[in-house]
Amino acid sequence: MDEKQKAEIIRCIESALQEDIGSGDVTTESIVPEDEVMTGKIVAKQAGVIAGLDVVQATFLLLSESVDFAAHVDEGAVVESPHVLASVAGPARVLLSGERVALNLLGRMSGIATLARRFMDEVSGTKAVILDTRKTAPGLRVLDKLAVQRGGAHNHRLGLYDMILIKDNHIDFAGSLEAAVTRARASASGLEIEVEARTMEDVREALRLEVERIMLDNMMLDDMRQAVEICAGRAKLEASGNVRLENVRQIAETGVDFISVGALTHSPHVFDVSMDWVEGEKPG
């Protein structure tokens, strides 16, 4: 993880804390003495892939540097239920005020990682690589994309700035696929170009234009196989649209290089985790 990514993660956490705590945790502050300390354990209540314990640690440390945190599993680890994931100790007010944000982020990230691993397992033995999309939760993209990686899948574009992806609306606006590619190349950005192909003719045109990647948009399996044959390795092929766990293996077996799955980040099941409070223990 580079420094830019770390800074983006901190901004995500700060925003979430401000959203939840606002001007103060009035319940905790009215009930819990300022000098009280607590110890807790974060527990997985389902089986799956863990992602985001370092984010949990950063959440508590942003509230107080006196918090002690110890992770008991690695990022990307597969756990059964129940399983103690981490221990935390520190000022009671801090732990109670930060608990919900910490668990929300951990639950979302682990849910994404678990789903990503399931998709990767489904295509095991093929050359296909599972990709995410930009269908992430607004403001949480850096965490969603990190969770995908920790689940064993790969990121597509991080945003609109790091790859040129010419989709149907761009092509329609430009008047043709060739016109859209010509304009994109004239920008002299030096970025990889991917085009969305809706028909076999689009695939052939994209190959003639020597683009680096072709997205096969909502194509039938037979069309994907034909595209793989036509392409013969001259460009990378990405299958996209209506990809589910039930059909991803069939898509992978057509021979495509990538399969993009919006469901990884737009509809993951939140991973079930809890914070159990204990007495007389320290993390370690």
Q: Catalytic residue among 196, 202, 205, 238, which?
A: 196
Could you tell me where the beta strands, DSSP code E, fall in 3-64? Answer: 37-44, 48-49
Assess whether 45 carries a catalytic annotation.
no
Q: Catalytic residue among 217, 223, 253, 272, which?
A: 217
How far apart, in whole angstroms, are the C-alpha atoms of residue 138 and residue 276? 30
Q: Catalytic residue among 134, 135, 185, 234, which?
A: 135
Q: Catalytic residue among 20, 68, 100, 223, which?
A: 100
Question: In terms of Cα–Cα distance, which of 278, 272, 276 is closest to 42?
Answer: 276
DSSP letters for 211-239: -SEEEEET--HHHHHHHHHHHTTSSEEEE
From the number of C-beta atoms within 10 Å of its C-beta (0-12, 13-18, 19+), residue 155 rates as middle
Assess whether 100 carries a catalytic annotation.
yes
How far apart, in whole angstroms, are the C-alpha atoms of residue 163 and residue 191? 6
Q: Catalytic residue among 20, 68, 134, 167, which?
A: 167
Our separate counts of H helices and E strands in the chain read: 11, 12
Question: In terms of Cα–Cα distance, which of 283, 260, 214, 233 is closest to 61?
Answer: 283
- Distance, C-alpha 20 to centroid of its chain: 23
Assess whether 135 carries a catalytic annotation.
yes
Assess whether 167 carries a catalytic annotation.
yes
Other Cβ atoms within 10 Å of 44 Cβ, number? 23
The catalytic site residues sit at: 100, 135, 167, 196, 217
